Amino acid sequence: MTSPGAAPATSTVSSSDESATIHSLNGTPTPRHVLRISDLDDATWRHVIDSAVIYKKAGMASKPIATGKSLGLVFLNPSLRTRTSMELAAQRLGAHVTTLTPGQDAWTIAFGDGVVMDGAEAEHVRDAFGVLSRYVDALGVRVFASGTDRERDVADAMINEIAASATVPVVNLESARNHPCQALADAAVLSDHFDGKTAGKRFVLTWTHHPNALPMAVPNSALLAAARLGMDVIVARPDSHSLEADVMNEATDLAGAHGGSVSTSTNMDAAIDGADVVYAKAWGGPMRYTDPEREKAIRASLTDWRVTRKQMSTTRNGRFMHCLPVRRNVVVDDAVLDGPQAMHLDQAEYRLHAQQALLEYVFDC
């Protein structure tokens, strides 16, 4: 909660320079937002990961260091893991939690500056998050990609408008472009599995078939997390389904700074051969914005992009990862998910521990 009268910060977003996301007018300090992993400096990134591993090993004991604090969660899209793990992480810290799902139990939200609100949306992002900032000490927000407006999706416009409207820290619970909580959980499970020695391990992020054109937030975040852990990352995907160039560049820079590398392959089998980690994820290609029917047709033809036990047997006793929810026998075979190499439930569990550690940072306690 901030004091009344604090002017809302204003957003200046450039799709080509994502580091210039949020500025504050008239001297109001910018809250401790966590919209993407680059909002955490190296020391904080490492501290959250290490704390998550410690919490995991210590079990479920409560640690009420945030008693009297409060967290507001706003879900503009569905969630199972994120909602549950955030509610419990906050409660374990002793904080109060309140959760809203606009469009269901709360008003639908309008985005954009200067909009004349004569349509379906009942409340503007500036007011909704201006108000919530008066009630709680931090916010967690999920808002998926539009899937239709590439410029705004690439700029992560909606979560940036939300953060610019808030006067308390906003934790991104998956936006159009980023999913930092998933990245932190993935980094923690990798750090745990490799006993901290992630640098130089081969991490294959492989695209898979899927009935829907999914957003890119998770593949972006997995790629950036693995790069920041100094892993040798291979992005395996069809020509039609590249990731955005600036995310690839950011990952390459990050990997370089941490002793790793980033490369691309269009051969799923070759990429997986010898991998230490296979991270499966479906996403819609950039063509979804320009020719969605063609993207759909191409995607529908690529049913072979499905992780199999045979592929996993070519790894270096590699682990299988997926952020969930996963389409069984479409993205990956049952035999992999139910076999000894699967680490998807550990990833999910690490959401709880990583977010508990992240909330300590956000609450500054």
Binders of a copy of itself in range 185-214 (CB under 8 A): 211
b/e burial code for range 262-289 (CB count within 10 A of at least 16 → b): beeeeebeebbeebbbbbbbbbbbbbbb
Residue of 12, 14, 42, 78 that binds a copy of itself (CB under 8 A): 78
Looking at 116, 195, 239, 317, which residue binds a copy of itself (CB under 8 A)? 116
In eight-state DSSP terms, residue 332 is B
Q: Among residues 34, 53, 128, 216, which is the contact residue for a copy of itself, using CB under 8 A?
A: 128
**Residue 131 Cβ, how far from a copy of itself at the closest point, in Å?**
4
106 binds a copy of itself (CB under 8 A): yes
Closest to a copy of itself by CB, 18 vs 360, is 360
Which residue, 50 or 346, has its beta carbon nearer to a copy of itself?
346
CA distances from 173 to 40, 184, 221 (A): 15, 12, 12
If the CB atoms of residues 43 and 116 are measured against a copy of itself, the closer one turns out to be 116
Regarding 1 and contact with a copy of itself (CB under 8 A), the answer is yes
In angstroms, give the least distance from the CB of 7 to a copy of itself: 8
Q: Which residue has tokens 């809203």?
A: 100
Question: Is the CB of 149 or the CB of 346 nearer to a copy of itself?
Answer: 346
Q: CA 75, CA 141: separation in Å to the nearest integer?
A: 6
Rounded Cα–Cα distance for residues 38 and 35 (Å): 8
| Binding residue for a copy of itself, selected from 47, 261, 346, 365, defined by CB under 8 A | 346
Distance between CA atoms of residues 328 and 181, nearest Å = 23
Considering the rule CB under 8 A, would residue 330 count as an interface residue with a copy of itself? yes
* From 12-20, 89-97, 150-158, 173-181, span contacting a copy of itself (CB under 8 A): 89-97
Using rule CB under 8 A, residue 365 touches a copy of itself:
no
d(Cα 188, Cα 295) in Å, to the nearest integer? Answer: 34
Q: Check residue 115 for interaction with a copy of itself (CB under 8 A).
A: yes
Length of the chain: 365
Residues 6+ apart with CB under 8 A from 155: 13, 14, 15, 18, 177
